[in-house]
Structure 1
Amino acid sequence: MSSFKPLVFSGVQPTGNLHLGNYLGAIKKFVALQDTNDCIYCVVDLHSLTAQLVHDDLEDQTRQITAAFLAAGINPKKHIVFNQSRVMQHAELAWIFNCVARIGWMSRMTQFKDKAGKDRENASLGLLAYPSLMAADILLYRATHVPVGEDQKQHLELTRDIAQKFNNDFSDRIAAKGLGVEMKVGEEIVRGYFPITEPVIGGPAARIMSLRDGSKKMSKSDPSDLSRINLTDDADTMAKKIKKAKTDPDALPSEVKGLEGRPEAENLVGIYAGLADISKEQVLKDFGGTQFSVFKPALAELAVAKLAPIAGEMRRILADRAYVDGVLSDGGAKAGALAEATMKDVRSIVGLQQG
């Protein structure tokens, strides 16, 4: 049975400072995946326009995300690192997917409901169609796996729906042109042009919460800088933020079950586990019965040891703007070649005339 070549794709929006949640939930995972997979990592600058159409610092934010990728250990010579707007085929495929996807699918997206709020009539069409562009980002390269956080899992499920509907809607044309690939969907072997992409979710710190409120995700947009550890924070700032992190008066439990109903404690244990590459069970084995007055300094020491070198390397890389722009340019050229190969097939399948 022929099948799709394994390929990992993921992207990060260039909006606001990168923080610990971005690192543990995404970038650290990106670095690990490149050892065993072909990878494409994208700074999704077109997506950032759904939040705000004009960003005075968008180019610098794009460079910062790129520098974070490189500082964390992503190798741009072995893998592709680029920014989305360099490859026009992202927007082209997104339009075709806009015509494949259904409005009902889009309006059910939790992220759209949260960001549009009660005034949905006043939300931009781009915000509604955001998942369609995300599907295009992934399927333009026929990626088989995407590392995502829990909050993006629904969007990836929509990507799978779009791929399946495209494959079904154009099954005869795909077969006639010999462009189908066999794949396993559930227990069934089917043929289609686009893969049914699988999520890569996991690790002890897949979702990092605010240091000020364990019920809210750590966010770039939180007005309190004490709610997050930025990748660019110096050692003293990191330690200060961990010291001030909200906790409860009880000691750490000896078992994970004891973290139930204690969101701030669970968050700090998860952060330690993610930074140390161990399970929460192991953290509690080492620190069970310990007060936060002891655990927080240990966590701060670990955070500084793991993150300070990345922050220093980011500053060094960002000082060489020409190098960062060169990485994005080279990556854009490689991505563009792959993207155009896909779009030639898609145009032919859909029936668009091309030279």
Structure 2
Amino acid sequence: MQMSQRVFSGVQPTGNLHLGNYLGAIKRFAEMQSGYDCIYCVVDMHAITVWQDPAELRRSIREVAAAFLAAGVDGEKNIVFNQSQVPQHAELAWVLNCVARLGWLNRMTQFKEKAGKDRENASVGLYAYPNLMAADILVYRATHVPVGEDQKQHLELARDIAQKFNNDFAASIAANGLAEKFFPQPEPLIAGPATRVMSLRDGAKKMSKSDPSDASRINLTDSADQIAAKIRKAKTDPLPLPDAVEELKARPEADNLVGIYAALSDADPAAVLGEFGGAQFSQFKQALVDLAVAKLAPINAEMQRLLADPAHVERVLGDGAARAEAIASETMNHVKDIVGFIRR
């Protein structure tokens, strides 16, 4: 099987997409298209690890796909699809369930955070979904995965599973005439500025669609007026902006707003402070409003246009799923031969 520099990444269709999703993932998806063979997935199977309203889930799948396209992802040049349309994700996940060790999953901090104190009542899917995430990546034998800080542990797990599979089935891999390292070790692509976009109301908390305060986040569906109001009301401290990046460490809200400006303008925080250091927040916030509206308003408008034609969005997803399945089925056929299954 020909190996290429292939990127895989996905976004869950759960609730409104916000600025953190855009800067941490979707903006980068468009930027990576020229350098990699890209596969971008709406991970709807991950979404149902907690209960979802079926009608709302369908709407959210279309919204995430529309956001990909509106942000500049080319659905013809690259693959855009939703996970549940490609059955090999679930099929490989079961094989990897039998390769991964219980102790590895017990160390996953995100399960502990999401399950909270009532872990006995959490779904098996929520517990095992890092194995499905590994299958998402490995079924395409992806070489690179863009990740934020909160996903690095899951990518490490995918690497461990890939290595154990290669070791456990080394003789069978060789007997089938395949490369010794059948599954590659996917490498992380760590983002630049604003990899963790924080709440506009609390610089110590990550921006989240689950935050009860809508003022804590900028949604990709927000109007220009809503974006402006949220930025102007964003929590800050009484001091002017510092001149040096090191001084931001003790000022989380200032650090967050500077990081957002840097990411939207494709600059680094030092350059932003070079322009605004010593300025009052009222001046800086107005500049951030102008920048955010200029960058996000066209995406919002294109999303609305696409969502007004759901059949078109579903055609893009269906076409992407057919192309994704062509790759995934080849991988899965090899896996069945390696493991010892008899296939049709």
Structure 1 and Structure 2 fold alike (TM over 0.5)? yes
Please report how far the alpha carbon of residue 4 of structure 1 lies from its aligned counterpart in structure 2 after TM superposition.
3.2
- TM-score, scaled relative to structure 2: 0.98
The count of aligned residue pairs is 344
- Find the partner of 1:305 among 279, 290, 294: 294
Q: Which amino acid aligns with 1:86?
A: Q
| Corresponding residue number in structure 2 for 1:249 | 238
Which shows bigger deviation, 52-61 or 279-288? 52-61
- Find the partner of 2:307 among 311, 318, 321: 318
- TM-score, scaled relative to structure 1: 0.95
| Corresponding residue number in structure 2 for 1:47 | 46
Give, in whole Å, the separation in 2 of the partners of 1:4 and 1:153: 23
| Corresponding residue number in structure 2 for 1:232 | 221
| Corresponding residue number in structure 2 for 1:342 | 331
| Corresponding residue number in structure 1 for 2:156 | 157
Give, in whole Å, the separation in 1 of the partners of 2:42 and 2:112: 24
Compared CA separation, residues 3 and 84, structure 1 to 2 (3 A): closer
| Corresponding residue number in structure 1 for 2:106 | 107
Give, in whole Å, the separation in 1 of the partners of 2:14 and 2:312: 21
- Deviating beyond 4 angstroms after TM superposition, the runs of 4 or more aligned structure 1 residues are none
1:145-176 Cα distance to aligned partner (Å, 9 max, x none): 01111101110010000000001100111011
Give, in whole Å, the separation in 1 of the partners of 2:278 and 2:39: 44
| Corresponding residue number in structure 2 for 1:270 | 259
Are the aligned partners of 1:170 and 1:349 in contact in 2 as well (CA < 8 Å)? yes
Give, in whole Å, the separation in 2 of the partners of 1:323 and 1:86: 16
Q: Which amino acid aligns with 1:88?
A: P
Please report how far the alpha carbon of residue 120 of structure 1 lies from its aligned counterpart in structure 2 after TM superposition.
1.4
Please report how far the alpha carbon of residue 53 of structure 1 lies from its aligned counterpart in structure 2 after TM superposition.
5.0
Q: Which amino acid aligns with 1:29?
A: R
Please report how far the alpha carbon of residue 284 of structure 1 lies from its aligned counterpart in structure 2 after TM superposition.
0.4
Please report how far the alpha carbon of residue 54 of structure 1 lies from its aligned counterpart in structure 2 after TM superposition.
4.4
Provide the secondary structure at the position in 2 that maps to 1:192.
coil
Structure 2 unmatched ranges of 5 or more: none
Pairwise mapping of residues 53-64 of structure 1 onto structure 2 (< 5 A)? Answer: 53-64=52-63
Are the aligned partners of 1:89 and 1:339 in contact in 2 as well (CA < 8 Å)? yes
| Corresponding residue number in structure 1 for 2:277 | 288
Please report how far the alpha carbon of residue 99 of structure 1 lies from its aligned counterpart in structure 2 after TM superposition.
0.5
Are the aligned partners of 2:50 and 2:123 in contact in 1 as well (CA < 8 Å)? no
| Corresponding residue number in structure 1 for 2:68 | 69
Structure 1 unmatched ranges of 5 or more: 181-190
Give, in whole Å, the separation in 2 of the partners of 1:346 and 1:74: 31
Please report how far the alpha carbon of residue 56 of structure 1 lies from its aligned counterpart in structure 2 after TM superposition.
3.0
Provide the secondary structure at the position in 1 that maps to 2:289.
helix
1:204-255 Cα distance to aligned partner (Å, 9 max, x none): 1111000001111100110000000000100000000000101101111111
| Corresponding residue number in structure 2 for 1:210 | 199
Q: Which amino acid aligns with 2:338?
A: I
In the alignment, is residue 194 of structure 1 matched against residue 192 of structure 2?
no
Give, in whole Å, the separation in 1 of the partners of 2:239 and 2:162: 49
